[in-house]
Structure 1
Amino acid sequence: MDKIEGKPFGQPANDIEKQWLLDRLKTLSVREAYQLAAMMLTTGRLREVSGKEGDELLLAVLKLDRKETAESINRLLSLLDYEVLCPAGSYEQLGKYYLRYEAELPEAAIPYADLEQIGFRYEEQHPGVFIGDCFVVLPSRAPKQIYDGTNLDKVWEMDWSLRLRLATPAVPKGVWLCLPDHAATEADGRLGEIALALRELKAASIQECDLLEVRCSIPGLSILPDDYEDLEDLIRDGNDLGFLLEEQGQGMPDFMERFTAALEYEGCHRLKEALDIAENLNCYDLMQADGIELYGKEELKKLGVFQDSTLQDCIDAAGFGEALLEQRGYRLNAAETTYIRRNDRKFQYLRTQPKQGWGMTMK
């Protein structure tokens, strides 16, 4: 029998797993709903929760056993592997989509093309399914098993930054929009997150929408009603945060650990401030807590302690290292995994003004 943490998969899932799954299903964006529908249709997974809301959704999630819950979490983490093409709800539309956005054929040539045949050929090369007026391209390989039943607290969703629930008079309950939206940066007519949400809301622009709720993928960051007067400004910052998460600080080693430690160090809870910190991570020095003993030994070695036989094995290297780090301006984060301090590099304020205590160089 399959097992998680040495326990049978068939056991009831724990509350944390259930809550994660429920929150994710309740905040699916319009685009993710198409992706999920394609995944359900082709794999049969998560059909138990299909079309359910409120108490019905809660009951469906509670009925899942541990194996089903773990599989569902991994399936939701793999939704990004499903590419949504829209409008492309028929072979003819799919052919037109291909000519416009991938083959980049001049618009004047489209009336002379056999769009349906092109759509058929596209489907042969990129297997997928039609969902509404979209064509969802299926993943070419099995989804990665990111969640192993023990690491949910370490599962970091890098594919989104903000989730916004927007509403209009036509759709007062609202729909979710997930950022970043790459189509918004390409501006080539493709329907991405924002365009799909606006279409569902029967709105022509973001200005017609009201913001009902915001979720952020970074724990501790929150958006208050008076943080942003302009919804487009919030979307712009959400996109920027999303691109930063995707790029991982342009390949910076331990980017997320450094970023979250810096946010905690500065007591940062606001998005604009977090973006400034992300752009200035070179202004922080980090040291892993599990290396504190080695650090202490190296510093003792510099002092010649190990050459004095009287002192050998009589000094707590870890305690000395910890005291020395504190003296040099380091702080231990709440998780007790990382020591961090500000260094003497100049902090560049790109979106905010200096705050009391911020941008202070080490003494």
Structure 2
Amino acid sequence: MWLEERLETLSVRESYILAAISMRHPPETAGNAINSIQNLSGCETHPAGCYEELGRFSLGQASQLPEEVLPYVDFEHIGQQFENEHPGLFIGSIYVEYPKEPPEPAYCGKNTLLPEDSDWSVKLKLASPAVPDGVWLRLPDYDGQTPEKSGEVKLVLEELRVKSLEDCTLLKARCILPEAGDLMKQYDSVTDLVRDGDNLGYVLDEQGQGAPHWLEKFAAALEYENCRTLKFALDISQNLHCYEWVPRGSLKEFAADNLRSHGVSEALIQSGNINLREYGSDLLDASGYMEASGETGYLVRNSQIFVHEYTASVEGSPSWRDILKALPRLEQLSSQAGPEETASARAAMMEALAESGTDGIRHLQTAMEYERCGSLEEAAEIAAHLGSYDFVEKAEFEESVRQELLAKGLSEEMIRSCIDFKAYTAIAYGYDSIYSSYETGLYVHRSAALSQPEQGGICMQ
């Protein structure tokens, strides 16, 4: 399964390298094949399909010759010299340079764990009219070029026989961060997706320039913010200073520091008569810290300004973690529900509205008002089925109707006194009924039937 999955997503560059490695040392077992794949990163590739091109490449890397001298240069011989110093193999239009030292095996047999494929950020399967089945692009590409000039991307464009990433069709997209969500729905531009995939790769590689517990803190911040897009994940990575982090192993020290701040003697703190671990855990909980799901530590947002570089900041938008405080009605229903029901409803609504932003909150409020929602269970059910409602901006639609009627010769006074905009909206959209929310400024129409189950709550039909 591991081998099949890894081979299925080999990038164009990796395919060239694997072909060269396999021709040098043909794998005789599955273990050999696994090690060959794991050692792909140890090989370098150069844009040369013959000795002359290899000579031009190597000479271009080393020095700049006057153009009038070039016809007199034996590039083929220089390419052969390069091969002697850097053994490798030509595969298509690429020269694959073998590692200088034999790599250590990453997999030693069936009694050892399979190696992790973790040195990537985003994998994209791109297609073109010439190659409709597509090829894989593996990010990041560390050559420091712009997306379409990077070596990895150039190989893909050559393979697909296109000039630009925008000429490609995105067939599949994978991100090493599950919290990045469905990349296929987030990007209209392949170039933008490649750029963000590269940026994520650099972030994961640098890990805060070696900051302690960086990866655990980043993972906890993604969870805390209920991150569901790659751009938001990138923003979070650049704003980790906006979160306070207490590693699980530092619980006792956190508790001890708090006691010291209250004047408790060091002797009593160190006496063993205070359960520092439990005290620290309760202290963090009372301070609003979230325990990371991997039990790596505790995290909370501090007061520092969160700078949005990749995503637009929505002023006044509620934190997903406080979704039950986003609307007065939800807050009221929460106060009437038990802890289990509250937690269940929060999780369900967070999942349902994860990618809808403030529009989702507004739509939920309108639908809850229309349904006369009476419990958190019903609110969660409505949130899960917001796609069954149609929403129309009242002010925007009414203004368009007003302009249309004015153009037909009706006066402002006649429009105000004679036109029922609610009925007009229903007719215009073909709705048999419509509800007008004064709180949200939306018309809403339910396009799927709802019924009350025997045990309460709303269910879809």
What is the TM-score normalised by the length of structure 1?
Answer: 0.77
Distance 1:336 1:188, change over 3 A: closer
Matched ranges for 1:59-78 at <5 A: 64=30, 68=31, 72-78=33-39
Structure 1 Cα separation of the partners of residues 93 and 248 of structure 2: 53
**Which residue of the partner structure matches residue 293 of structure 1?**
252
| Contact 1:82-1:137 within 8 A present in 2 as well | yes
Equivalent position SS for 1:198: helix
**Which residue of the partner structure matches residue 58 of structure 1?**
none
Structure 1 Cα separation of the partners of residues 82 and 6 of structure 2: 32
Equivalent position SS for 2:304: coil
Structure 2 Cα separation of the partners of residues 139 and 41 of structure 1: 15
Distance 1:102 1:219, change over 3 A: farther
Structure 2 Cα separation of the partners of residues 33 and 138 of structure 1: 14
* Pairwise CA RMSD: 3.0
Which residue identity is paired with 1:39?
Answer: I
**Which residue of the partner structure matches residue 92 of structure 2?**
132
Equivalent position SS for 1:172: coil
1:89 Cα deviation (Å)? 1.9
1:115 Cα deviation (Å)? 0.8
Structure 2 Cα separation of the partners of residues 187 and 171 of structure 1: 21
Select 2:304's aligned residue among 342, 345, 348.
345
Structure 2 Cα separation of the partners of residues 338 and 264 of structure 1: 12
Equivalent position SS for 1:171: coil
| Contact 1:289-1:336 within 8 A present in 2 as well | yes
Structure 1 Cα separation of the partners of residues 252 and 144 of structure 2: 49
Structure 2 Cα separation of the partners of residues 305 and 296 of structure 1: 13
Distance 1:273 1:252, change over 3 A: same
**Which residue of the partner structure matches residue 236 of structure 1?**
195
**Which residue of the partner structure matches residue 163 of structure 1?**
123
Select 1:83's aligned residue among 39, 44, 53.
44
Equivalent position SS for 1:173: coil
**Which residue of the partner structure matches residue 143 of structure 1?**
103
1:288 Cα deviation (Å)? 1.5
Distance 1:344 1:105, change over 3 A: farther
Structure 2 Cα separation of the partners of residues 246 and 103 of structure 1: 31
1:292 Cα deviation (Å)? 1.8
Which residue identity is paired with 2:75?
Answer: L
Matched ranges for 1:148-227 at <5 A: 155=116, 157-158=118-119, 160-183=120-143, 185=145, 192-227=151-186
1:296 Cα deviation (Å)? 2.9
Structure 2 Cα separation of the partners of residues 174 and 228 of structure 1: 18
**Which residue of the partner structure matches residue 29 of structure 1?**
11
| Contact 1:129-1:137 within 8 A present in 2 as well | yes
Select 1:120's aligned residue among 56, 80, 86.
80
Matched ranges for 1:287-326 at <5 A: 287-300=246-259, 303-304=263-264, 307=267, 313-326=272-285
Which residue identity is paired with 2:290?
Answer: R
Structure 2 Cα separation of the partners of residues 187 and 299 of structure 1: 49
1:145 Cα deviation (Å)? 5.2
| Contact 1:305-1:312 within 8 A present in 2 as well | no
Which residue identity is paired with 1:276?
Answer: D
1:284 Cα deviation (Å)? 1.7
| Contact 2:218-2:240 within 8 A present in 1 as well | yes
Which residue identity is paired with 2:207?
Answer: Q
Q: Higher helix share goes to which structure?
A: 2
Equivalent position SS for 1:163: strand
Distance 1:182 1:299, change over 3 A: closer
| Contact 1:184-1:194 within 8 A present in 2 as well | no
Identity of aligned residues (%): 39
Equivalent position SS for 2:228: coil
| Contact 1:77-1:157 within 8 A present in 2 as well | no
1:340 Cα deviation (Å)? 1.3
1:126 Cα deviation (Å)? 1.2
Distance 1:128 1:337, change over 3 A: same
Structure 2 Cα separation of the partners of residues 256 and 151 of structure 1: 22
Structure 1 Cα separation of the partners of residues 275 and 148 of structure 2: 63
Stretches of structure 1 that go unaligned for 5 or more consecutive residues are 1-17, 49-63
Which residue identity is paired with 1:133?
Answer: S
| Contact 1:184-1:192 within 8 A present in 2 as well | no
1:144 Cα deviation (Å)? 4.7
Task: Select between 222-231 and 160-169 the one with higher mean Cα deviation.
Answer: 222-231
Higher relative contact order (CA 8 A, sep 6+): 1
Distance 1:94 1:115, change over 3 A: same
**Which residue of the partner structure matches residue 94 of structure 1?**
54
Distance 1:90 1:237, change over 3 A: same
Whose Rg is larger? 2
Distance 1:241 1:324, change over 3 A: same
Are 1:44 and 2:26 an aligned pair? yes
1:280 Cα deviation (Å)? 1.0
Equivalent position SS for 1:194: helix
| Contact 1:346-1:359 within 8 A present in 2 as well | no
Structure 2 Cα separation of the partners of residues 279 and 108 of structure 1: 49
Equivalent position SS for 2:145: helix
Which residue identity is paired with 2:83?
Answer: E
Stretches of structure 2 that go unaligned for 5 or more consecutive residues are 322-461
